[in-house]
Amino acid sequence: MDRRERIDTEEREIDLRELFFVLFHKKGIILLVTFVFILGAVLMTKLVITPIYVSSAKVYVISRQNQDSVATNQDLSAATQLTNDAKVVITSREVMEQVIEKLNLDMTAEVLAGIVSVSNDNNTRILTIRVSHADPYMARDIADAVVDISTSNVEEKMGVEKMNIVDSANIPEYPSKPSLKKNVVIAGAAGLVFSCMVILAVYLFNDKIRSAEDVERYLGLTNIGIIPVSDEIGAEKKKGKEKKRNKR
């Protein structure tokens, strides 16, 4: 590394140190802005955003020719393949319309299908039906209705045994979203980054000469000397300003 590169590296290190001290001296503003962001996130989560509750039910899918016979490996393999087809039937328009009619819901089949999700975790034959709604009791009722109506539809359309209910729909005690903890963390990080960026931007775009070192660094001039301002001169200036105000 030659002398010029070494000087450039030292200047970059000095700049980073200066930026750190700028942020350190403005830590009160940074903390205040971060607190305001966090407070806003708490108020938004508690007062503005509608909480959503999720009720879930589980059903078991199996296909076999004779209900009294023991399920064979072929039956189990066929049932595993049928679970994906059953997921489509459960969220079909026909099932959604029957659920709307049963519960007298004020929504379309497309809207209802948007709040209903079906999954089979770890590729099992157990399907989990989840319903998201602002009312936890309505979420439970819709999930139960979807299970009751879809079981007969799956049996009729796919020719499989009626799905067995593993878990009935529950009444969720706590909302699944919004997450207060998550929103607070995101808001705190956003407030911290925003305040630091604004402070650094103001500092970097400020082209005022604040010290003798700035004269040497930015103007390339050497300081011959520094003339101090005595307290007496400052006091005389203050007295002069006060006299002018009294005359007015």
DSSP-assigned letter for residue 121? G
Distance, in Å, from the CA atom of 167 to the CA atom of 128, rounded to the nearest integer, reads: 9
- What is residue 88's predicted lDDT score, i.e. its pLDDT? 87
Neighbours of 42 (CB within 10 A): 14
The CATH architecture one would assign to domain 53-167 is 2-Layer Sandwich (3.30)
- Whole-number Å distance between alpha carbons of 84 and 121: 12
CB 62 within 8 A of CB 76: yes
pLDDT in tens, 187-234: 999 999 999 999 988 887 776 666 666 666 655 656 666 666 555 555
**pLDDT tens by residue, 69-88:** 455 555 555 556 677 788 88
Amino acid identity of residue 61, one-letter, is: V
Q: Where in the chain is the domain with CATH 3.30.70.1130?
A: 53-167
> Rounded CA gap, 94 and 141, in Å?
18
Give the CA distances from residue 151 to residues 57, 84, 137, in Å, rounded to whole numbers and listed in that order.
Answer: 12, 14, 21
**Given this model, what pLDDT does residue 66 score?**
42
pTM for the full predicted model? 0.64
Q: CB under 8 Å, gap of 24 or more: what pairs does 94-102 form?
A: 94/153, 95/146, 95/149, 95/150, 95/153, 98/149, 98/153, 99/142, 99/145, 99/146, 99/149, 102/145, 102/149
